[in-house]
């Protein structure tokens, strides 16, 4: 996990067409890489420095030592990740506002049919 000490970084993700979308900007005091730290999975986004960036690097073991002695660290990271998820969900929903989906009954069994008013 990285804690930004100084500078600014952008977090971007590419869609299936290769177009990049800005997810967030992380400045001094912000964190990067916490999802990969918790899941052990590769990073889900790309981080680019907008300016010179100085970071503090915490290995999984170092993070666990800090968090074991200061459990509030888990709560704070949970709040950070929740805000990021909420922001990402809101952006995704705005991108799909106004779209219409048409469902056609192609001989589905009665229990699977959409009933008006339900």
Give the mean pLDDT of 74-84: 87
Domains and CATH numbers, the chain: 2-97 (2.60.120.10)
Average pLDDT score over the chain: 84
**Is the pLDDT higher at 23 or at 92?**
23
Q: Has residue 49 got a pLDDT over 80?
A: yes
Confidence check: pLDDT of 105 > 80: no
Q: Quote the pLDDT of residue 97.
A: 62
Q: Which residues of 17-40 are buried (b: 16+ CB within 10 A; e: fewer)?
A: eeeeeebbebeeebbbbbbebeee
- pLDDT at residue 90, as a whole number: 79
**Angle between the N-to-C axes of helices 72-95 and 60-69, in degrees from 0 to 180, rounded to the nearest 10:** 120
- Order of all β-strands in the sheet with 54-57: 31-32, 2-6, 54-57
């Amino acid at each position: 996990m990285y804690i930004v000490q100084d500078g600014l970084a952008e977090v971007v993700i590419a869609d299936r067409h290769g177009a990049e979308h800005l997810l967030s900007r992380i400045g001094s005091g912000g964190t990067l890489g916490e999802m990969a730290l918790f899941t052990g999975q590769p990073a889900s986004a790309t981080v680019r420095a907008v300016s010179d960036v100085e970071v503090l690097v915490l290995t999984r073991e170092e993070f666990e030592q800090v968090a074991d002695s200061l459990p509030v660290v888990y709560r704070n990271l949970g709040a950070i990740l929740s805000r990021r998820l909420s922001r990402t969900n809101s952006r995704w929903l705005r991108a799909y506002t106004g779209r219409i989906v048409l469902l056609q009954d192609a001989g589905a069994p009665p229990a699977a049919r959409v009933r008006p008013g339900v």
